[in-house]
Homo-oligomer: A and B are copies of this chain.
Amino acid sequence: MSDYINALLKKPIKRTPIWVMRQAGRYLPEYRATRAKSGGFMNLCKSPDLACEVTLQPIRRFDLDAAILFSDILTIPDAMGLGLYFVENEGPKFKKNINNIDDINQITSNVNDNLTYVFDAITNIKQELNNKFPLIGFSGSPWTLATYMIEGNSSKNFHKIKKMMFCNPEYLNLLLEKLSQAVFHYLNQQIISGVDSVMIFDTWGGLLAKQNYLDFSLNYMQKIVTKLKASHPNIPITLFSKNGGKHLTKIADTTCNCIGIDWTIDIEEAVQLVGNKVAIQGNLDPALLLTNPEIIEKEVIKILNQFKEKTGHIFNLGHGITPDANPENMQALIENVHKFGAK
């Protein structure tokens, strides 16, 4: 078993594992070259061969401990017919938005038929990885998917979805219920196709008041965790609510295996909150990859020193690596984690 999977399960490891959110991405020249030929980001996602190729690029270049499926968190709403597209420097957008109960009623949870490109990519990647590296599958959380579906893009203040949450919570609950079923089916099929662990990205749960977070974000992740644990008890699950440091004990209660944390909470404090219950993934500020190897070494050691146990830490950034990161700094990050991490 790989160190990545062992760390998730809090079993003995040979060394602290590391992977990096968006490790297959624009900071890599080979990624930019493949993307330039692909005709755009969505083509890259939707071609199993190209998705496989870019998934493997960081694994070839760096001494990483896991590969993550190259895809987008918003494939499900796209498969539901909303028409996902990207405008340079503006983030994701949808051609159609969810505006009212009629729109929600028309949504179906059975979208795996429109996502075969993802499962095919997983098959290809697993074949190429040849069991030398574990593969991570993922999805956006129901709440996070709903924010993009209702707002139509990367929102500033999330007023449309919040208005629905406050004025028509039953509409939003219906949408989130449908999304949680879709995410379950999607991750379930990713597992059947071969991924070795799954992660749910809750990019926008952290902007909610506590009770709203519990009711509209964590509640639906809980449903997914419960169903996945019933169907695939041995597949580790990581939940990541950005800016969710204040909810860690509640997240740990879901029976997920691991909690992703961003840099706004110290790992030491996170461990105090969740104890021995779950593994922790994180949490270097991605902005550190704009500095230099000496500074990165110092900051990596700081984080490693905060995690006192022998296993249960998966090193990562606190959010995705950014296009302006220097690949040499990524190299330094990985080397330092392996040099100074648990052994």
Binding site for B on A (CB under 8 A): 157-159, 162-163, 166-167, 206-211, 243, 245-246, 263-266, 269, 285-288, 290-292, 295, 299, 322, 324
Known contacts A167-B291, A243-B243, A246-B264; decide if A159 and B324 are in contact (CB<8 Å).
yes
Q: Tell which of B157, B207, B265, B287 touches A264, judged by Cβ atoms closer than 8 Å.
A: B207
Residues on B with C-beta less than 8 A from A206 are 264
Known contacts A157-B322, A285-B209; decide if A162 and B290 are in contact (CB<8 Å).
yes
Given contacts A158-B287, A159-B290, 11 further A-B contacts (CB under 8 A): A157-B286, A157-B287, A159-B322, A159-B324, A162-B290, A166-B290, A166-B299, A167-B291, A210-B264, A210-B266, A210-B269
Residues on B with C-beta less than 8 A from A210 are 264-266, 269
Q: Are B264 and A163 in contact (CB under 8 A)?
A: no
| Protomer copies | 2
- 9 CB-based A-B contacts, threshold 8 Å: A157-B287, A158-B287, A159-B287, A163-B291, A166-B290, A209-B264, A211-B266, A245-B246, A246-B265
- CB A159 to nearest CB in B, in angstroms, measures 6
Q: Which of A210, A286, A322 has the most CB of B within 10 A?
A: A210
Q: Are A287 and B245 in contact (CB under 8 A)?
A: no
Q: Lowest 5 A-B CB distances belong to which pairs?
A: A162-B287, A209-B263, A166-B291, A163-B290, A167-B291
Binding site of A, secondary structure by majority: helix, strand, loop or mixed? helix
- Of all chain B residues, which has the CB nearest A287? B162
Complex Cα gap A246–B211 (Å): 17
Q: Are A167 and B246 in contact (CB under 8 A)?
A: no
Residues on B with C-beta less than 8 A from A162 are 285, 287, 290
- CB A329 to nearest CB in B, in angstroms, measures 11
Residues on B with C-beta less than 8 A from A290 are 159, 162-163, 166
Complex Cα gap A108–B78 (Å): 53
Complex Cα gap A206–B206 (Å): 12
Q: Are A264 and B159 in contact (CB under 8 A)?
A: no
Residues on B with C-beta less than 8 A from A163 are 287, 290-291
Complex Cα gap A290–B265 (Å): 32
Residues on B with C-beta less than 8 A from A166 are 287-288, 290-291, 295, 299
- Of all chain B residues, which has the CB nearest A165? B287
Complex Cα gap A304–B290 (Å): 45
- CB A35 to nearest CB in B, in angstroms, measures 21
Complex Cα gap A263–B166 (Å): 14
- Of all chain B residues, which has the CB nearest A299? B166
